[in-house]
Structure 1
Amino acid sequence: MTQQPRFTAGTDRVSAGQPAVVVRGYAMVPVRRLSLDDVSRRSGLHPELLRRFVALGLVDAVRGADGRLLFDRTAPATLARIQRLRAGLPLNYASIGLVLDLLDRITELEDALRRSNTGSRRDESWI
């Protein structure tokens, strides 16, 4: 019997270099990721600016087996959000990171509130 490759919790690569979703240390489903060129083309941003965004933590990326940056399929939408915030508010990129974190947290809290209210919703037809 051949031995299965070992996976490390929290990594996005298996030993063969294939990006994968890692759950409790086991690669469950291979994830198709976008290359730097694909994201650059879709977002209209220069690849060097994308590298800077990764360094600042504004966009998540992993390194492939060949060392290239690989992005989640949601990266172009995140980059569009960053561009809208940058154009609409007089903020630097570090501040935009904080705003993105706060907006994500607000969304999580609203979702949790919605879930908790579904079971205990009272009849409001009298209003």
Structure 2
Amino acid sequence: MTTYALVRPARLDLHSYARATGLHPEVVRRLVALGLLEPARDARGELCFPPSQVAAAARILRLRESLSINYAGIGLVTDLLDRIEELEATLRNLSRRD
């Protein structure tokens, strides 16, 4: 069975994303190259970002400015924070079953 989306998913192009996050487009490209942001590509092959990536940029900026972590370290910290969030969610689900 084939399904079709009724609405096009919201996406921000590079410049709209840069404005929304307060980052220069070149910084956004650098964060993408480092694997810190996960954009999609549009039909022309241009970067486009789901709205959830605005929060990801805010998290990166908080870590960079508050803790003075370099971009390589930010990748590790965000991976660990994501893993902690998954483990906490699993723990909550297990405690609800009891």
TM-score between the two structures when normalised by the length of structure 2: 0.89
Matched, 1:106 2:84: yes
Q: Residue 76 of structure 1: CA displacement?
A: 1.2
- Give the Cα–Cα distance (whole angstroms) in 2 for the partners of residues 28 and 96 of structure 1: 37
Partner residue in 1 for 2:55: 77
Higher relative contact order, chain-length normalized (CA < 8 Å, sep 6+): 2
- Give the Cα–Cα distance (whole angstroms) in 1 for the partners of residues 65 and 39 of structure 2: 24
Bigger Rg over Cα: 1
In structure 2, the CA distance between the partners of 1:112 and 1:94, relative to structure 1 (3 Å rule), is same
Q: Residue 31 of structure 1: CA displacement?
A: 2.2
How many aligned positions are there? 95
Name the structure where helix makes up a greater proportion of residues: 2
Partner residue in 2 for 1:47: 25
Superposed CA RMSD in Å reads 1.5
TM-score between the two structures when normalised by the length of structure 1: 0.70
Q: Percent identity?
A: 49
- Give the Cα–Cα distance (whole angstroms) in 2 for the partners of residues 28 and 108 of structure 1: 31
Name the structure where strand makes up a greater proportion of residues: 1
Q: Residue 28 of structure 1: CA displacement?
A: 5.7
- Where does structure 2 lack aligned partners over 5 or more consecutive residues? none
Runs of 4+ in 1 over 4 A off after TM superposition: none
Partner residue in 1 for 2:14: 36
- Where does structure 1 lack aligned partners over 5 or more consecutive residues? 1-25, 121-127
In structure 2, the CA distance between the partners of 1:109 and 1:27, relative to structure 1 (3 Å rule), is farther
